[in-house]
Amino acid sequence: MKKEVFVYDGSYQGLLTALYTAFKRKIIPVKIIKAADFREDLFYKKTIIESSEAKADLITKKIRENISANSLKNVFAAYLSELEAIEDHIFRYLFLGFKEGEKIDEFLSTTAVIKVQEAAKKVRRESHRFKGLLRFQKTQGNKYYGAIEPDHDILILLLPHFKARFSIQDWLIHDKKREKAVIYSAAAKEWLLIELEAEFEPQFAADEAEVQDLWQSFFAALSIENRYNPKLQSQFMPKKYWEYLIEEPGSSRKRKK
């Protein structure tokens, strides 16, 4: 019999359903892959996974009870990493996890455990970074708009932080890379995940440029000239995150004396 490749719709629920199916049928798929990344292949049998809420819930419960709540968090964060073949590592991680229980997170020399934990760590680190690096711009109509292009799919992890902090203003965080956004409404105290094309640009408020200008000059004035150290700066704040900053790294040297 041909070995099977599981193809799922790319959603977290879809992945959980795929995992559920594998454990239920007691098989080890050669690969669990998103439909969008799947290439037809003669050697393997393709099994399409129909995303199912009930199955996803079931396996979620199993992971929490038979392994640990922490391990469930790792699985979700690792999924958000979108790293290549992470689904297969997640499968192996859980496969071992169901045998070993919560100890699994101490198996620090097992490849699947390392891969899942490292992916989860990357995701958490990036989402922590964006809590600081995200910049809102005020749009017409007093809504605050922020664009990001993160390596990992962290939008959903940013949500609780910004909801708690900016609960009395309307805002939107736009993941341009994945063409989606989360919108929050202060009046309703509710949020919504929507699709939003990369080209979307709002109209900014009349006084927005002025505030940005103030921030830029504060940023430039703050640096101590004889401790100038752009290398250290970009070590903490890699260049890939600069595009949506309002301030300009390096600008302290351009500042008029």
Helical ranges in the chain per DSSP H = 12-25, 53-62, 69-81, 86-100, 111-133, 155-165, 208-222, 230-236
Residue 207 CB, shortest distance to another protein, in Å, is 9
Q: In terms of CB distance, is 95 or 219 closer to another protein?
A: 219
CA-based radius of gyration for the chain: 22
| DSSP calls for 43-108 | SSEEEEPPP-HHHHHHHHHHIIIII-HHHHHHHHHHHHH--TTHHHHHHHHHHHHHHHGGGGGG-T
Residue 242 C-beta: closest distance to another protein, Å:
10
Supply the minimum distance, in Å, between the C-beta of residue 94 and another protein: 24
Buried b (16+ CB within 10 A) or exposed e, 214-244: eebeebbeebeeeeeeeeeeeeeeeeebeeb
**Shortest separation between residue 109's beta carbon and another protein, angstroms:** 7
Residue (25 or 165) nearer to another protein, CB: 165
Q: Which residue, 91 or 144, is less far from another protein as judged by CB?
A: 144
Q: Which is nearer to another protein, 12 or 204 (CB)?
A: 204
Q: Output the smallest distance, CB 246 to another protein, in A.
A: 7
Contacting positions for another protein (CB under 8 A):
108-109, 128, 131-138, 144, 146, 162, 164-169, 189, 211, 213-215, 217-233, 235-237, 245-247, 249-253
Q: Which is nearer to another protein, 36 or 187 (CB)?
A: 187
